[in-house]
Amino acid sequence: MKPTHGSIDAEKGLDRLLDRTIVAGYSRLGYAIRRRRWPADDPRPGSLAGRTALVTGGGSGLGEATVLGLARLGARVHLLVRSPDRAAPAVARIEGQLRREGLAADLRMERCDVSDPAMVDAFAEEFRARDGGHSVLDVLVHNAGVMPPERTESVDGHELSVATHVLGPIRLTEHLLPAMRRSEAGARVVFVASGGMYTQPMPVDDPDFRLGDYRGAVAYARSKRMQVELTPILDRRWSSDRVSTYVMHPGWADTPGIARSLPLFRTLTRPLLRPAEAGADTAVWLAATEPAPPSGTFWHDRRQRPTSYRSTTHPGPAETGELWRWAASAAGVATP
């Protein structure tokens, strides 16, 4: 039966209610309710066959689930990880799952700490040189994440969360643009943010969290706010290279990172937490659905979402521009 305008409006109303209540929308319940309305063939099976994807932090949790989802659709997937030894069990799990589903796996392990500019540059240079200097990258998912309990700095002196979630991804994308330009379908970049960013304003005056009492969860949320606010700017910057840029949040997913960094939260909410595959679903969908969704946008559970619900967390253009100039300089990216 074809949905009526009334049923569509009711569905959208329920979706907005789930989103605003947070617990319902971010939990496994919200995912279960929403997915009932999604077409079974979206993304289309085999939609990434012959294409190449790269997932940072692909060795566990949401990254592992994202790799599995992209590989299911036929992509060759590169896992960019800090420790190949620690990530090896994830590769074995993914390969085993695909075998059970009667699918082939083409997974490549790559070593790189995205918070380290020298490692990012070395990896990107080597990747671009493959295939006689004609390497192609169709999908880049920025998933690598950290939540240090105490303020920690990257090798070049930036707070580790912002270095891992903002500066490293910008630098890596910039250096991989030559490979993404060769994507026949147009490349897609997806940032994995967090719904926790809704609690934080953009830290324009202190992006490196040098002031005040440091808390890992706050630093994490601040850096995720930066990802969300910078995505439209990055979209404008990369769109001339036929690159579509997205940012999404996974809801509350049960991952090793949550267990390690937020043990009390996990204990209290564990019955509500989504499996990692549900958290990764929108990242995989953004990478593969056709036609490509509007670029420069923020998503959760396959629907575009507001970036702020309170005026105190909504930055103006001047603030966003100021943060971009800082981030571009810190990431070593030239601006006009």
How many other C-beta atoms lie within 10 A of the C-beta of residue 257? 20
Judge whether 220 counts as a catalytic residue. Answer: yes
Helix/strand/coil percentages in the chain, nearest 5: 50, 10, 35
- What are the two backbone dihedrals, phi and then psi, of residue 21, each rounded to the nearest 5 degrees? -80, -10
User: What's the rounded Cα separation, in Å, for the pair 95 and 317?
Assistant: 45
Q: Which of 198, 220, 246, 309 is catalytic?
A: 220
Q: Are strands 107-111 and 139-142 parallel, antiparallel or unpaired?
A: unpaired
The angle that helices 317-331 and 168-181 make with each other, rounded to 10 degrees, is 80
Give SS3 for 141.
strand
* C-alpha pair distances (Å), 270 with each of 29, 32, 53, 125, 281: 12, 16, 31, 42, 19
Cα–Cα distance measured from residue 97 to residue 20, given in angstroms and rounded to the nearest whole number: 35
Residues belonging to the active site: 220
